[in-house]
Structures are given as C-alpha cells and as structure tokens.
Structure 1
Amino acid sequence: MVSKQKSCFVLVHGGRHGGWAWREVASRLSALGYSTYTPTLTGLGERAHLLCADIGLETHINDLVGVFEYEDLSDVVLVAHSYGGMPVAGAMQHVFDRVRSVVWVDAHLPQEGESIFDLIGDERAAEMMRMADRDGEGWFVPTSDASWWGLTDVEQVAWVNSKTTAQPIKTYRDKIGPTDRAWSHPGTMIECNPSRLPALEGARQRARAESDLRFHHRTIDACHEPMLTHPDELTKLLVEAIDNL
C-alpha cells in the first residue's frame, strides 16, 4: 500500500480512552505517508486533569471541530470508534465539506435527539449510572477492566488499564443535535465480530440496514478494540475507505 493521495486521517477514540488507543494504527498510516491526527477529547487520556462535571457531548464535538480549524484540514478520512461516533456525528454538521469519507468502527451513529444512553438501552444505561453513583461521585463513569471490551492478552489488558480514565456521565446523557450530514455522507461501517458488547447491536443493525444505501459494510474478526488487537487489518480497511465514495 503506497500513498498516492493527499487525504489525511483523523482518528477519534471511544469512551474512557484517549488518542493513545490509536498509536499502532497511526504509526502504520504515517509509515504509508498519510498525515494522521489522534486528538484526545477533553477530560480523557492525557487531558484527564481537565475532568469536571460540566464536560458534555458538545464539549467533545467542539474538540473535534477545533482540530479541523486549527490544523487547516481538508480531504479527511474521519474515523470514529465506539462512543467517538457521537462527537463525529455532531462535528459533521460543521466540517462535512472537509471530510472525504467517514469510517464508523463499531461506533454509534445517532439520529438527532438521541444520547448514548438512548442507544445502549435502559439496562446498560442504568448499570452505568449505578457505576457513577457508586464509584464516580454521581457525575463520572469510572474505568472498567479492559477485558470488558474483549481484550484477553494479560499484558495488553494491563497496559490499557493503565491508560483508561473516567468520563463525565453528562457526555452519555446529552442528546445530540442534527446529524443529517453524518447520515448522508459517504462512509464505511466496520463491524467487529464478535464485539462482545450487546449494547452496540443497535448500531450494527443500522449499519446493516444502510449498507446497501449509504455505507459500505465491512467486518473484522476482532473484539471491540481492533486498533489494539488487529492494527494491520484495521489499517488496511481504513486505507481502502479513502475510495469508498
């Protein structure tokens, strides 16, 4: 695979993760000649010192829009993982004309007026609220053991556990505004199989239903964290997505 295009990649991490999660994929994309950005959303990862109850979905949408504006990005392949689909869907209202293609990696793709809690269902939402009440002072969701996301390698689980951080529950409760740009834009859905996260089944069903109409549909034999467990395979799919228009 040799880069012959000016496209660049913006890789958006999932909940309680950070830009660090994309390290292996970003290094591979850079080696192929692509400019690659891995922003960390406010309050997470190396920005955990900013964690506060007021951080909501709009904060994370603005984080992403800011990357486009301050880096003067265009012809972007915008990649969302898991929760990252929420800020990506919101940011698309502002940066759609700078985006070549959107890739949803086992990611949520909300309709206007939906929150993460709406998408994951009452049972999982209630569980996360109990986690916040019990161990998050009522306003943040604490970290989970990395095995929750399907990781099994002991060293990898330990490394991810050392990197994940708490996340304000407001980001999960906030309902998103218009998302029509995300739904109408050229894109690719990558479904992890088996993902081991039943809460994502709604997103998968939407991907399958829309794959013939709007999105290219791909699968990868990996858990919910393919950027960590299968970076070579995921990188290949991301590069292919450049031309999925």
Structure 2
Amino acid sequence: MTQFVMVAGAWLGAWAWDEVVPELRAAGHGAHPLTLSGIAEKRDVQGAGQQTHVRDIVDEVERLDLRDVVLVGHSYAGVPVGQAAERIGDRLARVVFVDSNVPTDGESFSLGWWQGQEKFEAELAANGGFWVPLAAEDFEGQGLTDEQIARIVAGATPQPGATVTEPAVLERPLGALPATYIKCLLDGGEPSDDAAKLLAGSEGRWELVRMDTGHWPMFSQPHELAQILLKAAAGES
C-alpha cells in the first residue's frame, strides 16, 4: 500500500487535489494532500519560509508514521518536496515532480525567476512580502475550462515571500533519489535546464513522463494524472 503525500504549488492548499485523491484511494492506496504553512486554511501561520515548508512535509510523514511514501510536488512545491524526500530516509519510495521546480543546494526559487531575481523580489516587497496569485487571464492556454480557472482563482491565497527567497538545503545529490518528472507540454515542451540535467545524469533513477495539458493537471486532467502517479508508485513507465 503506497502512501501518497501531495503538495500543490504556490497559492494552493490541499483542496487542489480533490479530484485526484479519490482515484488513488479507490486503487487501495493512502492519499494525504497537504496544505503548507501560510497558505489557504493555514494562511494565519506567521513567518513561514521555505524550510518551514520542508518541515511541514517531513512532520506530516512522521506524524502519520507513513511508509512506502511517494512524495508529490507540483510547481513551487517541488522545491520543499525535493528537500523533504532526502530527510525521510527509508520511508521514501519515490518522488514525483509535477511540472515543478527542483531544489538546488544553496539556491532559492527566486534565483531562477524568468524575469530575474531582482524584479521578482521587488514585486514581493511591493506586496507586503507576499507573492500575489495570478489573475484569471494568466491561466489561458493551459487546458483549463472557465469553471476550473474560476475555482483556482477563488481558492488561491498569497504566498509568503520567504518561501521563495530562502535557499534550498540538500545533503546529497537529488539525482540519487528515485524520481518521476512530469512535463506538462502546454507550459513548454521540455523540462527546465536543472530538471533536464538531473534526468540525464541520474543513471536511470529518474523517469520523464509527458502530459498533453497545462501547468495545473490536477484540475485539467485529474484522471490522467492519477494514473501516472499509480504507475510511478508501481515502478511502471
């Protein structure tokens, strides 16, 4: 029995997995969607940073005494999930990165921002130290219906800025872990350079899976995403 611990990307809580969880449980597995500190129903938690999010994930695994764990990180959440994966030791079965960032030791999420770190961090400062959620028009072209976009926008909450500016801390190469990387093709045809490097240098421990959808597959293709997660847990390509 695999135990899936699933973390959605920036601005989103455990609710983002509502359409994926039932399929995993129907297949006989445990499914534990997790809201990180400072977001959604935990938005009142003060002072949350990236290492807070790493601890959130590790603490959930240990609190529930989970074994045979598949950690799933979407988008931003790939950064704390990748760090948590090496900290849960032999409880880990696999990591699944869903169109996500991956952590690099000593580097922050903001460092790789497409408009540049300085501009990104200036935007955080201008918004009281928070990363403001996207507007509805920013989700266009991602395979989402108007109803799905409205649901995401309505549920999104500002992301604490320290979660994206604190550096990652890794004790060993991420490529040493068993992992699946899911690339959502409407958000770009190839994985980012750091993920591509890990895929190429992992000596078969990392697998690349492509989905013909946008960056939020838990909304646009929840059934297909659930099936990929089940295959990853079973070691199937």
Q: How far off its partner does 1:151 sit?
A: 5.3
Contact map agreement 1:11 1:36 (CA 8 A) in 2 = yes
Q: How does 1:198-213 map to 2 (within 5 A)?
A: 201-206=192-197, 208-210=199-201, 213=204
**Residue 157 of structure 1: CA displacement?**
1.1
Q: Please, which of 3, 8, 11 is the counterpart of residue 13 of structure 1?
A: 8
**Could you tell me how far 1:120 is from its partner in structure 2?**
2.8
* 1:142 match: 132
Q: Which runs of 5+ in 2 are unaligned?
A: none
User: Does the 8 Å CA contact 2:3/2:70 hold for their aligned counterparts?
Assistant: yes
1:192-229 C-alpha deviation (Å, 9 max, x unpaired): 1021599x733453355346633011100010001110
How many residues in Structure 1 have an aligned counterpart in Structure 2?
Answer: 234
CA distance in 2, matches of 1:104, 1:171: 18
Determine the C-alpha separation between the residues in 1 that align with 2:60 and 2:4.
12
**RMSD, aligned CA:** 2.2
TM-score by length of 1: 0.87
Distance in 2, Cα, partners of 1:89 & 1:158? 30
**Is the contact made by 2:175 and 2:198 (CA closer than 8 Å) also made in structure 1?**
no
> Paired residue for 1:225?
216
CA–CA distance in structure 2, aligned partners of residues 211 and 191 of structure 1: 17
CA contact (8 A) 1:186 1:215 kept: yes
For 1:192 and 1:76, the matched residues in 2 are separated by: 23
TM value normalised by structure 2: 0.90
Per the alignment, do residues 157 and 59 of structure 1 end up closer, same or farther by CA in structure 2, a change over 3 Å counting? same
2:169 aligned residue (152, 177, 181): 177
Specify the SS of the correspondent of 1:112.
coil
Q: Is the 8 A contact 2:131 2:159 kept in 1?
A: yes
Secondary structure in 1 matching 2:34: coil
Which position in structure 2 is the counterpart of 1:98?
91
Question: Residues 222, 74 of structure 1: CA spacing in aligned structure 2 closer, same or farther, 3 A cutoff?
Answer: same
Deviations 1:177-204 (A, max 9, x none): 1152643111111111021599x73345
User: Which residue identity lines up with residue 202 of structure 1 in the other structure?
Assistant: D
Distance in 2 of aligned mates of 1:130 and 1:153: 32
Distance 1:208 1:69, change over 3 A: closer
CA distance in 2, matches of 1:28, 1:170: 34
Please state if 1:58 is matched with 2:48. no
Would the alpha carbon gap of residues 118 and 214 (structure 1) be closer, same or farther in structure 2, given more than 3 Å must change? farther
